Structure 1
Amino acid sequence: MIRPASFVPSLHVPPSEDALLFLFEGGRLLLREDGTLPQGRLEDFPVDLVNPLGTLDGRPALAARLVGEVPGGHTLRPLRGTFGVLPEDLFGLAGYAGQVVEWDRTHRYCGACATPTRRNSHELSKVCPNCGLTVYPRVAPVVMVLITRGGGAERELLLARSPHFAPGVYSALAGFVEPSETLEDACRREVREEVGVEIGGPRYFASQPWPFPHSLMIAFTADYVSGDIVPQPGEIEDARWYRVTELPGLPAPFSLSRQLIDAVAGGK
């Protein structure tokens, strides 16, 4: 879920009758019943935590939290469920909007002294007027590793499934980067922890913002070196080798994990 190239961030967005409105209740986004995004003025909706986002192709975009009843003619949908419903540019911007609103909700008070925070006028941050602590929207780096062995039609991918995955879905391994850890070291540690095998030097593939809730996915490929698969209890429900010609159920097409698997399985 990447912000579209035509989006221009700004903290100062004038009211507009055609403004794009990203209104959230928890992790759900408000849409019209026909699946389109609400437009117009925020005054027409029961909201708080209003955050100007910027402009998309010249149109103002604003985010806020819905605090009252769902207006007639509208419905709430889980953000993930808007893939394929919203156009790709709006889907990407919705991910950004959801993270900004959640950051605003969870940083209304200073984490050091509990004083109400104030927004900065020149950047997307909040500052404590008492102790000076400045907080920015959280971004948590996550490494993703697709391990391969063999070649040609016999090439295999090590795929695993979390207990939280949809039934039958397998993906690449992934985990959060720890403090004072390089991305490459995080790859090796996560693979060792989750499936008990050793890998060669990770090779960068691509990255993707992932607003569930506030991650930056950083994908790598790596060659298998040694070890038998031993799934980590509580984290990995199952893990096994799959030939590239006989893959199991895979993540959604918009996810970086799916793009990584498709590229490697296709020989890229």
Structure 2
Amino acid sequence: MTEAIIEDQAPAQAVASEGEVAVAVLWDNVSAEHFSMLRLAPLPTDRATGTRPLRFVEFGRAERSNKDFSLLRMSYNLPGQKTRKEQNQLDIWVDHANRTVRIGPESGLQIEPCNRGLGRFMAAQGVIWAQKRWSDYQIAGTALANKDALNEDTRLRRDQFLKALGFEVAYADAQHLKGTIKDVKVGNLNGTWNADKVQVVEILDTAHMLQQAEQKIQEQEVLIKKAEDKVGKYKRDDSGLRFTIACLVTFAVFQAGLLIWIATHR
């Protein structure tokens, strides 16, 4: 049974069988080995999640495979931001004997920062990877977590996320609490994401961006130096004017005192 993939802000819950737990232990300590950088485009402030400035995220992945199983483990790393172990990670497990694909972790896909397109990007990478060799494998349908349906906005975001990937969401009640996703073949899933929100930055592009940033910094330093020189010149001129004014005031006072003395001693 597969765990439900859910939208960034709506983690789902599913129960794994004993067999699935045993498989998970197989490569439990595997961590990301290959990395790339993602650019999160600046987006308008969202009422629910707040500001969404320009950010850069490290995307890591690792693959393992034997005659029985294959694994793709993906994760995000955010500079200067701590996340829990279950956050920002997605596993794609392939069972070759049963020709099935399972999605983990059990707690669902939990992405931070949310509402930036990262959940869709990571899920799309998993779909693309699985479709290359096992497009005829099956993802079994499963029940969706009831807690995600308690808030209508959360439920709608979750359903929109799942449907965009190619899953069919169905409900057994009018209140939309008892939701399920139906069986689907890997080849029928959609491995695309919103490239306007998330862009993969290649090494040469990164070097070009750093070069441009360095050039702009140097240009700003030149402008700052010119501004500091002007300020220094104005300060020197101001000091000269203050000295001149002080001398004139002193001379005027002296002249006035001298005139008073002459007038009183005639």
TM-score interval (norm. to shorter): under 0.3
Higher strand share: 1
TM-score normalised according to structure 1 size? 0.19
Query: What is the TM-score normalised by the length of structure 2?
Result: 0.19
Of Structure 1 and Structure 2, which has the larger fraction of its residues in helix? 2
Larger radius of gyration, structure 1 or 2? 2
